[in-house]
Amino acid sequence: MGKSEKIGQENQWQGDTLPDYLRDNLEIVFIGLNPGLYSAQVGHYFAHKQNRFWPALSASGLVPEPVGPEDDIRLLQWSIGLTDVVKRPTHGIHELTRMEFRRGAKALEKKIELYKPRIVCFVGLTGYQVCCEGGNGSGLQAECFGGARVFAIPSTSPRNAHYSLQDIIAALHDLKEFHERLKEEVKEK
């Protein structure tokens, strides 16, 4: 194999990752930045026991019962989907390249346009900033992404010590309230 072929292959990751849990017209799609290696190994989103996504989602009122990583595919029954900006699993985001972010954002936008969810919620401000070039912090955002309304919550990773579990739950409560307002607006029309 020539050197140029080897270099090209290094940039073409083709390993195992998490599936997208998407279907037409979901209410909310949660978007992670990329899967962690552990999550990819066990085959579930936000699977590390210290990740705060599942406890926060369970406490938010967005789902009718407590859920954990093994319930990721079940979220579809409540019109909630899951995907990532970049599908390549890593130990941390420092392993991702700018090119991966750009390609991932374009591919993600096409998925969102195709499946037409009402709201996309970026789990972590980095994913939001990569895809929307915004920097307004967490909460409801002014722009749309792929035709969907945009919401951002703090990263649920245990590495994100700036936000407590209570902060993340509060952000998801805000998402729930926004979602309920959108549903009411549709009913009134």
Q: Which residue stretches of the chain are H helix?
A: 3-10, 37-42, 53-60, 98-115, 125-132, 165-188
Among 30-34, 43-47, 155-159, the minimum mean pLDDT is found in 155-159
Evaluate if residue 108 carries a pLDDT over 50: yes
Evaluate if residue 66 carries a pLDDT over 90: yes
- The verdict on residue 149 lying in a domain is yes
Chain-wide mean pLDDT for the chain? 90
Q: What's the pLDDT tens digit per position in 5-31? A: 333 333 444 568 999 999 999 999 999
| CATH assignment of the domain containing 164 | 3.40.470.10
Number of domains in the chain: 1
- The verdict on residue 25 lying in a domain is yes
Q: Which domain holds residue 45?
A: 15-188
β-strand partners of 143 = none
